[in-house]
Amino acid sequence: MIGMALYWLCIFRVFASSVEVIVEPPMWWVGMAQPKLQLLLRGKDIGAATIQLQQYPNVKMLSQQSVANSDYLFVNLLINEGAATGQLQFKVTWPDGQESILSYALGARKKASAARKGFDNSDVIYLINPDRFANGDVSNDTQANLLEGVTPTDPDGRHGGDIAGIIQYLDYLAQLGVTQLWLTPVLENNHPKYSYHGYAITDFYQVDGRMGSNEAYRTLSLLAQKQGMGLVMDMVLNHSGSHHWWVSAPPTPDWLNPKTHLGQFSATSHARQTIQDPHASSNDKRAFSDGWFVPDMADLNQRQPLLAQYLIQNAIWWVEYADLSGIRVDTYSYSDKTFLTEWTKALLDEYPQLGIVGEEWSTNPAIASYWQQGKHNHDGYESYLPSVMDFSLQQAVIEGLQEPESWNTGLIKIYQSLANDFLYPHPEKLLVFADNHDMSRVFTSLKQDVAKTKMALGLLLTTRGIAQLYYGSEILLDNTPSDAHGVIRADFPGGFAHHTVNAFTGQGLTPAQKDMQQWLTQLLNFRKQQAVLHQGDLMHFSPQNGVYVYFRYNDDQSLMMILNNNARPLTLELSRFNERLIGYRHYQSPLQLELKGDLDKPIELSPNSFTLLQLQQ
């Protein structure tokens, strides 16, 4: 097998004659399900050169394709079964008659790479903003070739967190009980300001130097696996940063959607319902999918076939290179929907069990369910996306825990959201969460009420779906009084040298923070061991008197969860739930060992409480 570092250094930038030629993808693998490979070559007047592949067994050059911009050339290869690892050699003949050799590496795949297990409903995904989690390497905070340096006191500036910092605290994350790490994008964002968030990518094949390196990212994946955790990459298909090389010099005129229309900035309408609306005009649909998010994020035209293939191969490349367990797709529905089908299908053809979740920020499950694999849509659209984010349930939890109880307010909102599961072909694959990096933290939204925060997290960690936890929830991070993104994405206490509070060691945490951290660690590690919470059925009972009861059960086990949304203690009679109590006589709480009793007697509930009971025969 060719050493990864060797062909990375040799292949990413190739000098042919006196011209620097950059090749993307920077290398590839033999034995992929899709034998065709498209190479993008970028260099001065490379489009006028002639490329010939030197003889290599079971590899064939199908064509070279020039485009409007002569600084680009696309080369199409066929890598047949039986091709060996090694270096492909291309003879490049330049317009002036000079000849040079361009090398390209084919590597060996990890054993059983195609059969990798992605994230599923046995997992809890821990969402991290890397710049704000921990600074493990202060030497990379500011770099001469990147426009923005570190400004730790600016909420919208770079604070210096990096991949090395996450590696440093993998033990903490494993002990907490999470099983997957979702990092907001770590790829290069070379912008003069507000670059820390990662969603304005300027190089789709390069980790931002202030975050570390490609090798560091791959090392994180390997070390996380050793701790029982997978790595989920946050990918952006809809747009790139305005400083990306293809914005000022696109390969084709239709590579990007127009930035202006009739002299005005062509902003997206954000009207995501137009995609499903049977009455929508074509103009409204284009206004949603072809508009730009902001002036600094160039909207990509995935209808351009060369760009579409570029994005497909880029995703496959990162899964293979970094040994990913899954992908979270930013602003999923904003991309061309035909392309999205092609993109997800291509990934699942290579990795049938790969976890993929799309962000469709709609609280209307009729809109969100349109995108899930297996949905029979009214317009015949076929999606291959395994999972979508459950914004409906997130909103219902936050609102339901704060409203007074009535026939249409309070806990009934949670019940109603889950009752809409019939709209989804696979509700068990939905990503459930109390908050994320784009909204106020759960502790803030619930007005710093610790008890209700436990109710929200307890529910979302025991209901159906794949659970996601935002970094810092375990220590009650709070963005009051501001909902600005730079404040929501606060530093994790202890991750930076100037911090006096350290959540990794417990130093300086308040009693409430320590209690939450201990409680959540206990719940997460309990969840990890409970197959009934991974594959069990869900039955819930309509809330009454401010109490919501639901069960997770299979043939061998049953768990009973109770939310008391009253500010007073309550005695709960259990006869109403007899259909789920048959065969069981006793209960005990794994979170409160002193809480145990007989199922033929009422249960005493604490005010504003989440109660988890294991039923016993």
* Spatial distance between the Cα atoms of 342 and 294, rounded to a whole number of angstroms: 26
- CA distances to 176, 433, 512, 607, 608 from 451, rounded to whole Å, are 20, 17, 10, 8, 6
pLDDT of residue 3: 42
Residue 236 burial by CB count (10 A; 0-12/13-18/19+): exposed, middle or buried?
A: buried
Assign domain 536-616 to its CATH architecture: Sandwich (2.60)
Which amino acid would we find at residue 481?
P
**Residue reference for tokens 């502790």:** 443
Segment 602-606 shows an average pLDDT of: 97
**Residue reference for tokens 């049953």:** 558
From the list 398, 488, 480, 482, the residue with the least C-alpha distance to 444 is 480
Two structure tokens written together for 563: 């939310």
pLDDT of residue 16: 53
DSSP symbol at 362: -
Mean pLDDT check: name the lowest of 15-29, 423-437, 467-481: 15-29
Segment 353-371 shows an average pLDDT of: 98
Domain 4-110 has CATH 2.60.40.10: yes
Two structure tokens written together for 21: 């030629």
pLDDT band at 14 (very low <50, low <70, confident <90, very high): low
* Spatial distance between the Cα atoms of 254 and 300, rounded to a whole number of angstroms: 9
Q: Where are the domains of the chain?
A: 4-110, 124-235+327-349+356-529, 536-616
Is 124-235+327-349+356-529 the same fold as 4-110? no
| CATH class held by domain 124-235+327-349+356-529 | alpha beta
Q: Is the pLDDT of residue 10 over 70?
A: no
* Spatial distance between the Cα atoms of 482 and 468, rounded to a whole number of angstroms: 23
* 267 contacts 291 by C-beta, under 8 angstroms: yes
pLDDT band at 155 (very low <50, low <70, confident <90, very high): very high
> Is 359 a known active-site residue?
yes
> Is 342 a known active-site residue?
no
* Spatial distance between the Cα atoms of 208 and 9, rounded to a whole number of angstroms: 17
Q: Which of 137, 296, 299, 330 is catalytic?
A: 330
Q: Is the pLDDT of residue 189 over 90?
A: yes
Residue 2 burial by CB count (10 A; 0-12/13-18/19+): exposed, middle or buried?
A: middle
Over residues 504-551, the pLDDT tens digits come to 999 999 999 999 999 999 999 999 999 999 999 999 999 999 999 999
**356 Cβ neighbours under 8 A, 6+ residues apart:** 118, 326, 327, 328, 329, 344, 347, 348, 385, 386, 387
pLDDT of residue 17: 57
Q: Is the pLDDT of residue 4 over 80?
A: no
**32 Cβ neighbours under 8 A, 6+ residues apart:** 79, 109, 316, 350
Q: Which of 359, 390, 428, 474 is catalytic?
A: 359
* Spatial distance between the Cα atoms of 201 and 247, rounded to a whole number of angstroms: 11
Percent of residues in the chain assigned helix, strand, coil, to nearest 5: 30, 25, 45
3-class secondary-structure state, position 52: strand
pLDDT band at 11 (very low <50, low <70, confident <90, very high): very low
pLDDT of residue 118: 98
Two structure tokens written together for 231: 């790595």
pLDDT of residue 191: 97
pLDDT of residue 146: 97
* 164 contacts 216 by C-beta, under 8 angstroms: yes
* Spatial distance between the Cα atoms of 356 and 329, rounded to a whole number of angstroms: 7
**253 Cβ neighbours under 8 A, 6+ residues apart:** 68
Instruction: Give, rounded to a whole angstrom, the gap between the first and last alpha carbons of the chain.
Output: 56
pLDDT of residue 587: 98
How many helices (H) and strands (E) in the chain?
Answer: 17, 31
57: preceding bond cis by omega (within 30 degrees) = no
Pairing status of strand 36-42 against strand 19-24: antiparallel
Which amino acid would we find at residue 277?
D
Over residues 63-86, the pLDDT tens digits come to 999 999 999 999 999 999 999 999
pLDDT of residue 261: 85
Over residues 84-109, the pLDDT tens digits come to 999 999 999 999 999 999 999 999 99
pLDDT of residue 19: 84
Residue 210 burial by CB count (10 A; 0-12/13-18/19+): exposed, middle or buried?
A: buried
Q: Is the pLDDT of residue 132 over 90?
A: yes
From the list 385, 375, 393, the residue with the least C-alpha distance to 464 is 393
Beta strands in 420-531 (DSSP E): 431-433, 466-470
* Spatial distance between the Cα atoms of 430 and 386, rounded to a whole number of angstroms: 8
Which amino acid would we find at residue 139?
S
* Spatial distance between the Cα atoms of 208 and 243, rounded to a whole number of angstroms: 14
Over residues 242-292, the pLDDT tens digits come to 999 999 999 999 999 999 988 899 999 999 999 999 999 999 999 999 999
> Could you tell me which residues are beta bridge partners of residue 466?
431
Over residues 159-179, the pLDDT tens digits come to 999 999 999 999 999 999 999
DSSP symbol at 84: P
pLDDT of residue 15: 53
- Dihedral of the alpha carbons of 376, 381, 386, 392, in degrees to the nearest 10: -80
* Spatial distance between the Cα atoms of 389 and 403, rounded to a whole number of angstroms: 24
